[in-house]
Amino acid sequence: MASATAEWLTPPTRTELIENLVSGVDRYNPSNVGILEDYLYHQIRSEEYDCLANLAILKLYQFNPDLFNPDVVVNILLKALTAEPFPDFNLCMSLLDDRPPTSSTDEPDPLPTLLPMLTNLYDLLHQCRFPAFWAFYKSEQLESLRENYTIECVGFEDAIREVAARAVKATFTRIGLERLGTYVDLSGPEVDAWVAKQGWVVDGGVVGIPPNPDNQIESVVIRENVKLPQLAKVIAHSAQTK
């Protein structure tokens, strides 16, 4: 059975080496951080995602502050943003312990300024305020985030569009093309192409979304369903006493 979390627990792309690190005691060994970081950059390049492996990196950072690499953390958080509505972003944030102010580093730590921005991006996604997300994401303020990080993260914007697509798919049966465009920050032929890729159909400026378990509703009256084992005691007893 493919459960809703199966892929999240063990993505099909996870190698055996990584699986052993994630599930074994070796995850605590600081010398393995390189392997996991390489795996993260592999995810960044090839549009894969493995939350548990990334959490293992943060765990190593938590225990070994000297390993801490802010760039890696930002990349992990960007990846986690795209997992909404799963709470991956918060799970990652939970492992980011306080770090003493670095008194002796050459380059300034980018995290103190980036973390609030990332959190804000996450909140906008979580509140399904997609147009506001894109506006903030494209703002001048986030230039450094875009130019230093998301540009490297292949398919980041598409992955965010998937977040929007998931919300839309669950809520709408039909949605105006223009409105959808603001959700995914696309317009004109681009949005047509994107909609086609989703397998949705455009009909006169309105996008029809195929039925799925979430966007089909019906009023049901839940009736109780009495199973035989529930009555086993009563029946067994009356049989005994005859």
Partner 1 sequence: MSAQQRVPLWAAEPDLDDEINDVDISLAIPSYPNADMYDDPNVQLDESALAMQAQIAQQAAFAQIPDVVKRFIVHFHQAVLENNLPEITLAYESGWNRLTEKFYSKTEWPEAEIIAPLVNDDQIFLILYRELYYRHVYSRLQPNVDDRFHSYENSCELFNYLLNSDGPVTLSLPAQWLWDIIDEFIYQFQSFALFRSRPANKTDDELAMLGSEGGGQAWSSYSVLNVLYSLIQKSRANEWLTARSEGKTEEEIEEIIGEYGTRPLYRQLGYFSIIGLLRVHVLLGDFTLALKVMERVGLGLSVGQKAPFTAPTAAHVSTAYHAGVCYLMLRRVTDAARVFTGCLNWVMRARQYHTRSYQYDQINKTADRMYALLSLCHTLAPTRLDDNVMNIVREKYGDQMTRMGRGEEGLSTFEEIFLYACPKFISANGPPYDDPNALALLLNPPTPASPSSPSAPVLKPTTSDPTHRHLRALTAHFLSLTHVPVLRSLLKLYTSLDARKLAGFLDAGVDEEEVLSWMMVMKNAGRCVGRVNIAAGADKDDEKGGATNGTPARGSAARGSLLDGEWMSISDLNYVIDENMIHIAESTVGRRYAGWFIRNSEHAARVLDSVRALPLPVAAAAPAVGSKSQGKDGESKGEKNAKADGAPRTGGQKVAWGGVKAA
Q: Report the site for partner 1 in 131-150 (rule: CB under 8 A).
A: 131, 136, 141
- Please select the residue that binds partner 1; options are 34, 112, 138, 190, rule is CB under 8 A: 112
Q: Closest distance between partner 1 and the C-beta of residue 98, in Å?
A: 6
For residues 212 and 169, the answer to whether their CB atoms sit within 8 Å is yes
Q: Rule CB under 8 A: is residue 67 a binding residue for partner 1?
A: no
Reading the block at residue 161, the tokens are 């569009």
Could you tell me how many residues of this chain bind partner 1 (CB under 8 A)?
Answer: 85
Residue 81 beta carbon to partner 1: minimum distance, rounded to whole angstroms: 13
Residue 90 near residue 119 (C-beta atoms within 8 A): no
Residue of 46, 85, 147, 210 that binds partner 1 (CB under 8 A): 85
Among 4, 105, 106, 188, which residue sits at the site for partner 1 (rule: CB under 8 A)? 4
123 binds partner 1 (CB under 8 A): yes
Q: Which stretch binds partner 1 (CB under 8 A): 37-45, 74-82, 116-124, 146-154?
A: 116-124
Among 15, 17, 20, 28, interactor with partner 1 by CB under 8 A: 28
Asked if 19 and 56 count as a contact pair (C-beta separation under 8 A), the reply is: no
List the interface residues with partner 1, window 196-215 (CB under 8 A). 206, 213-215
Using CB under 8 A as the binding rule, whether residue 63 contacts partner 1 is answered as yes
Residue selected from 103, 106, 107, 203 as contacting partner 1 according to rule CB under 8 A: 103
Q: CA 18 to CA 224: how far, in whole Å?
A: 46
Contact between 55 and 91 under an 8 Å Cβ cutoff? The reply is yes
Which of 150, 168, 34 has its CA nearest to residue 82?
A: 150
Among 11, 13, 71, 115, the residue binding partner 1 under the rule CB under 8 A is 115
CA distance 234 to 128: 52
Separation of alpha carbons 10 and 8, rounded Å: 6
Closest CB to partner 1 among residues 35, 121: 121
Measured between alpha carbons, how far is 145 from 116 in angstroms, rounded to an integer?
12
Burial class (CB in 10 A: 0-12, 13-18, 19+), 192: middle
Interface with partner 1, residue 12, by CB under 8 A? no
To the nearest 10°, report the CA torsion of 127, 51, 64, 146. -60
Site residues for partner 1, window 43-62 (CB under 8 A)? 51-52, 55, 59, 62
Phi–psi pair at 230, nearest 5 degrees? -65, -30
Contact pattern for partner 1 over residues 166 through 185, marking x by CB under 8 A: -xx-xxxxxxx--x------
Residue 35 per-residue DSSP state: H
For residue 201, which amino acid is it? V
Among 39, 49, 130, 194, binds partner 1 (CB under 8 A): 130
By beta-carbon proximity to partner 1, the closer residue of 34 and 112 is: 112
